[in-house]
Amino acid sequence: MARPLILVSNDDGITAPGIRTLVKVMKKIGDVVVVAPDSPQSGMGHAITIGETLRLDKSIAFESIEAWECSGTPADCVKLAKFHVLKNRRPDLVVSGINHGANSSISVLYSGTMSAAIEAAIEGLPAIGFSLCEFGHDADFSHTEEFIEQIVREALKKGIAPGVALNVNFPKRSEEPLKGIRICRQARAKWQEEFDERTDPHKRKYYWMTGSFVNFDKGEDTDEWALANNYVSVVPCQFDMTAHHAIVQMNNEWSLEPEINLNPEVKDN
């Protein structure tokens, strides 16, 4: 029986420890191809490269694995993988990560890791983004491996709904073993930013963004609750950002004419 073809990407760069752990696990399950940024691309969201050159070079970052490093964003990596590197092959699954730092709640919007997964979903490919709630370059990923393997095998066996990418987050390793996996919703939370005004050696002002994460959501079915209680959180995400409930409210309550003359100087006949 043919082994599944798995595409691996990330946003921390092709040399990051997190992607090495993910490749290690994926090699147990299927044939692996890596297309990842040649430098860190954290916080890029779903940016794509327009008006600049994109470079794609063979990489020796992984022994006995087909690997490519790309000068673009995580979304660029998935696009180039599908339409160039794998143009005659269709991956059975796209996985992204393991990210150094959480991508739970609102962070999914800013995440390059999840944007790689979402880009795959846009292209009709099942996808999963993996993140660890620890930012350090020396982060310990060992407690994530068995859960990643379990989630990936289930996704390959049972499938992921069309247009959906799974956002998987792991608590930081602690003395207490992980309790299990929770399928969750995204918590209603946000980053409360502050901007520290500073001065460079040339006496010019610049700003350094700081701030803190604020969770407004007290529900016990959210990713933030799961992580705080030592569970692995799994949130199904989609790229359709339509607020369907608002369509009903606007159709019922707004008074909009079918056609509006936006130029009062031009008279309707």
Q: Which residues pair with 236 in a beta bridge?
A: 166
Q: With bands split at pLDDT 50, 70 and 90, how would you rate the model's confidence at 171?
A: very high
- Tens of pLDDT along 27-64? 999 999 999 999 988 888 899 999 999 999 999 999 99
Q: How many CA atoms lie within 13 A of 79 on its CB side?
A: 15
- Convert 110-139 to b/e letters by CB count within 10 Å (16 or more is b): bbbbbbbbbbbbbbebbbbbbbbbbeeeeb
- Tens of pLDDT along 223-232? 999 999 999 9
CATH class of 5-188+220-253: alpha beta
pLDDT of 137: 78
For the chain, the structural domain boundaries read 5-188+220-253
In the block, residue with structure tokens 């199904």: 236
Binding-site positions for a divalent metal cation: 11-12, 42, 99
- For residue 269, is pLDDT > 60? no
- For residue 259, is pLDDT > 70? no
pLDDT of 163: 96
Binding-site positions: 11-12, 42, 99
pTM of the model: 0.90
* Percent of the chain residues past pLDDT 90, beyond the cut: 82
Residue 187 CB contacts under 8 Å (≥ 6 apart), including other chains: 104, 105, 215, 217, 219, 222, 223, 224, 225
Angle between helical axes of 17-29 and 145-158 (0-180°, round to 10) = 50
144 with 169: CB under 8 angstroms? no
Q: What mean pLDDT is reported for the chain?
A: 93
Mean pLDDT along residues 221-242: 96
Of the two residues 228 and 260, the one the predictor is more confident about is 228
Residue 224, CA distances (Å) to 8, 95, 160, 189 in order? 26, 22, 22, 9
